[in-house]
Amino acid sequence: MPEYRGWDAEVARDVIASHGATEGPLLPILHDLQSIFGHVPREAVPLLADALNLSRAEVHGVITFYHDFRAEPAGRHVLKLCQAEACQSMGARDLAEHLRRRLDIGLHETTADGRITVEPVYCLGNCACAPAALADGQLVGRIDAKRLDRLVDAMEAGR
C-alpha cells in the first residue's frame, strides 16, 4: 500500500520545475503529483496554470478528462476490477456483484471506513488469464470469488 503526504506547495512547485525541459509537460506533472499526494489537490491547479501559462479552466479540464486523475484521495487500498469483454466472458460481472455483497459498496465507491476503494477498469491486457484485477497496483489473473476474497482479506487485515 503506497504512503502519501499531505499538501505541500513547495513540493508541488519543485515537481513542476523539474519538468522545465519536458515537451508537453502537463500529464507527466499530474502523474508525479498524484504519486506524491495520492490525488491531484485542487491547490495545485493555480500553480500549474501559472507555471505552464494555461488558464485554470484548461488545467481543470485536463485533470477531469482522464480517468486516472483523482480530485479527492481514494481509500487506503484500491481494488480495480476489470469489467471489459474478455473478463466479462469469464464472470467479471459476478465478481463485481460478489464484492458489492461483501463490502456493501458498488463500483466507484469507498467503504465507510475509508479502507477500500473499488473501481472498474477496462482492460489490463491480461485477457488470456481472465478475469483480472489490480490490487494496490499488483496485477492478478485467473481470479475467482475465493481469490478475490483473499485479496480483500489482506486489505482488511492491514491498516
User: Which residues contact another protein by CB under 8 A?
Assistant: 23-28, 30-31, 52, 58, 61-62, 65-69, 84-90, 121-130, 132, 134, 137, 139-142
Which residue lies nearer to another protein by CB, 90 or 105?
90
Which residue lies nearer to another protein by CB, 64 or 104?
64
Quote the DSSP letter at residue 127: G
What are the residue ranges of helices labelled H in the chain? 9-18, 26-37, 44-52, 56-65, 85-88, 92-103, 145-157
- Which cell is 83 given? 469489467
Distance of CA 120 to the CA centre of its chain: 10
Which residue lies nearer to another protein by CB, 82 or 155?
82
| Minimum CB–partner distance for residue 146 and another protein (Å) | 15
